């Protein structure tokens, strides 16, 4: 019997499930219980070994408090079949593995711990401005 590799889309969707679950501080066991599954089945979803059906994807979106489209966001070009640079508006593509970095998760958690929405918005604007100035320095335009 030949074991086939998981489909890249299934791996991407699973990694988005894992990143959101981790961001919420939820264990695989807790997510499994909410879905009526074992944590091993959640592991298989997160690795892309098992495909997630549409009703299960909808259920995951409700539990993880994200729209269904979240699971398909930031899909790399090798998965979508698009050539590099074909992202909407010519924006620089964000690497999917950056979403699962500990640093990214800690930053997002800390950001949402800021209670004052005005302070949060100002911080967001500052980070965006710093990111733009950093891109300008790399490309030689200031």
- Looking at the predicted structure, is the pLDDT value of residue 89 above 70? no
Residue 99 and residue 18 in contact, taking contact as beta carbons nearer than 8 Å: no
pLDDT at 99: 66
Range 18-32 average pLDDT: 93
Query: Do 27 and 80 sit in the same domain of this protein?
Result: yes
43 Rama sector, left if φ>0, alpha if ψ -120 to 50, beta otherwise: alpha
Return the residue matching tokens 């590799």. 5
- Kindly report the pTM of this predicted structure: 0.60
Query: Do 141 and 77 sit in the same domain of this protein?
Result: no
Query: Do 27 and 64 sit in the same domain of this protein?
Result: yes
- Print the domain residue range for 10: 1-100
- Looking at the predicted structure, is the pLDDT value of residue 142 above 60? no
pLDDT at 83: 44
Query: Do 5 and 60 sit in the same domain of this protein?
Result: yes
Q: Which residues contact 8 (CB under 8 A, 6 or more apart)?
A: 48, 78, 79
pLDDT band of residue 96 (cuts 50, 70, 90) is: low
Query: Do 64 and 110 sit in the same domain of this protein?
Result: no
Query: Do 67 and 125 sit in the same domain of this protein?
Result: no
Number of domains in the chain: 2
Query: Do 79 and 122 sit in the same domain of this protein?
Result: no
pLDDT band of residue 86 (cuts 50, 70, 90) is: very low
């Amino acid at each position: 019997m030949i074991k086939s590799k998981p489909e890249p889309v299934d791996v991407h969707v699973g990694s988005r499930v894992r990143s959101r679950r981790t961001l919420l501080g939820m264990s695989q066991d807790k997510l499994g219980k909410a879905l009526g599954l074992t944590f091993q089945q959640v592991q298989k979803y997160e690795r892309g070994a098992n495909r997630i059906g549409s009703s299960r994807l909808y259920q995951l979106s409700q539990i993880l408090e994200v729209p269904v489209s979240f699971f398909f966001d930031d899909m790399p070009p090798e998965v979508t079949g698009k050539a590099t640079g074909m992202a909407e508006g010519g924006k620089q593509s964000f690497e999917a593995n950056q979403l699962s970095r500990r640093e990214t998760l800690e930053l997002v958690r800390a950001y949402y711990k800021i209670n004052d929405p005005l302070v949060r918005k100002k911080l967001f604007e500052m980070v965006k401005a710093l990111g733009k100035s950093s891109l300008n320095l790399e490309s030689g335009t200031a």
